[in-house]
Amino acid sequence: MKTLSTLARRRIAAGVVLIASLGTAASIGPISVSMLSTDTGQFTAVVAVVALAATFSPKRRLGTAFFIAALTLVAVVDVAWMIDFASAETTIFGTASPGWGLLLQIVASAGWVGYEAFGLVSRRRRRVVVTEPT
């Protein structure tokens, strides 16, 4: 069975973040708000497009840096948005709760940034060679 390359996985992660930006950002009782109808949702959609475009960069290191920076930015913005929902006041319809689009963006972006960080740390550990005196 053939496994996906890291580049293909990055494209999938950026695509999931982009698809999540088409979802719901929040719901308050029977009312739901689209991600693209908010400034923050539009911003994260643009950043997801930048992350996806970075995977097609001919300069691999630069593309990787832009990709990781873009998904880190999406994760930070979305977590700040979640904190805002947690501090929201109750309205006549109830309390605002995050929508599936926002939750999917957080899982995809933060999960991939964690995966990249783990890979970076494990690659650096493999480079360290300890020689013992004989």
The predicted-structure confidence for 64-114, as pLDDT tens digits, reads as follows 888 889 999 999 998 888 887 777 666 666 777 788 888 899 999 988 888
Q: Estimate the crossing angle of helix 60-86 against helix 39-54, to 10 degrees.
A: 160
Tokens of 33: 């708000």
The predicted-structure confidence for 1-30, as pLDDT tens digits, reads as follows 677 788 888 889 899 999 998 888 888 777
Q: What gap in Å lies between CA 38 and CA 47, rounded to an integer? A: 14
Predicted TM-score (pTM) of this structure: 0.77
The predicted-structure confidence for 33-58, as pLDDT tens digits, reads as follows 888 888 888 999 999 999 999 989 88
